[in-house]
Amino acid sequence: MLASAPAGADAILKPAPLARYEAYILNAQSRVQREVQSAPFLWAAQSAARLARVRAGEVLIEPGNGNGLVDIGDALIHDWMGAVFIPGVKLDQAIAFLQDYGVHKNYYRPEVIDSRMLSRRGDEFHLYYRITKKKIVTVVVNANITATYVRLSKTRALSMGHSTRIAEVRDAGQATEHEDPVGRDHGFLWRLNTFWRMEEKDGGVYLECRSVTLSRSVATGLGWLIFPIIRTFPRESLAHLLTESRSGVLDHSR
């Protein structure tokens, strides 16, 4: 059994880095709005080589900015972009799976161990996920997320998601299970934003997701223990998300 994150390794989400993250997200939203109003619609289609790799079946993950890691002082922004192609399906089928939040825990395991829709208002969904990551240590968080869908045409759609509450869970699954105060924990995941683009063409559907998350920076004395999970979690999670989304869409379309 892997050890829980170490006691004494707590971090505090401070106002200054949070404000920098929120400004970063506003810029990311503006970029999405600009890009989807011009050609090409898809991020993958901005490069012929990139599109060919995705069309051939690769789950392509690249940094959304720089090397995917932005140091903003006392915190780190993780920015990754990914794309996958799902052959033989329609856009409606892809959206139907993405909006079937209760089954996500069956596909996104082992990282998602619980998922459900809390409420819905039109195209706005309020969700709950329990997320876990095991790499040297085990981290579990409860996340409340709001996702909004925008249908642009018969063949194109967008979805944007943002966390409204993320709390780290101590002693998960035990009688002593409890949440840390929000923003005063190990700091593996403080904020989460996603920007999805979906397009039906080439005999299937392209799914793209830009994932932007906020975590703690790494104290020197704990770097050997904490940095591996902080560094790799966002990229690995996005690859897993897109891979299993393809599987889920294909299963639900049969």
Residue-wise pLDDT tens digits, 49-103: 999 999 999 999 999 999 999 999 889 999 999 999 999 999 999 999 999 999 9
CB neighbours of 67 closer than 8 A, spacing ≥ 6? Answer: none
> What pLDDT was estimated at residue 76?
94
Residue owning tokens 């999670």 = 237
pLDDT score of 169 more than 90: yes
The rounded percent of the chain whose pLDDT value lies above 70 is 92
> What pLDDT was estimated at residue 219?
58
Task: Report the mean per-residue pLDDT for the chain.
Answer: 91
**What does the alpha-carbon distance between residue 214 and residue 19 come to, in Å, rounded to a whole number?**
11
Would you state the structure tokens that stand for residue 115, as one six-digit string? 């998922």
For the domain 10-252, what is the CATH superfamily, name and number? Answer: START domain (3.30.530.20)
pLDDT score of 182 more than 70: yes
**Residue 236 three-state SS:** helix
List own/partner pairs for 166-175 with CB under 8 A and 24 or more apart.
166/141, 166/142, 166/190, 166/191, 166/192, 167/141, 167/142, 168/139, 168/140, 168/141, 169/130, 169/140, 169/141, 169/142, 170/4, 171/4, 172/132, 172/138, 172/140
> What pLDDT was estimated at residue 73?
87
pLDDT top residue among 39 and 22:
22
Give residue 107's region: left, alpha or beta (phi > 0; psi -120 to 50).
Answer: alpha
CB burial string 158-182: b at 16+ within 10 A, e below: bbbbbbeebbbbbebeeeeeebeee
pLDDT score of 223 more than 80: no
Q: Are 129 and 115 in contact (CB under 8 A)?
A: yes
**pLDDT tens-digit map of 119-141:** 999 999 999 999 998 877 788 99
Distance from chain centroid for Cα 2: 24
Alpha-carbon Rg for the chain, nearest whole angstrom, is 18
- The identity of residue 246, as a single letter, is R
Q: Are 98 and 112 in contact (CB under 8 A)?
A: no
Q: Find the range with the poorest average confidence among 41-45, 60-64, 184-188, 197-201.
A: 184-188
> What pLDDT was estimated at residue 1?
34
The rounded percent of the chain whose pLDDT value lies above 90 is 77
**What does the alpha-carbon distance between residue 212 and residue 21 come to, in Å, rounded to a whole number?**
9
For residue 113, which phi and psi values (nearest 5 degrees)?
A: -105, -5
pLDDT top residue among 218 and 219:
218
Q: Find the range with the poorest average confidence among 66-70, 113-117, 159-163.
A: 66-70
Would you state the structure tokens that stand for residue 150, as one six-digit string? 């925008």
Distance from chain centroid for Cα 241: 7
C-alpha triplet 48, 94, 162: angle, nearest 5°: 90
pLDDT top residue among 35 and 101:
101
Would you state the structure tokens that stand for residue 137, as one six-digit string? 């240590």
- The identity of residue 65, as a single letter, is N
pLDDT score of 2 more than 50: no
Q: Where are the domains of the chain?
A: 10-252
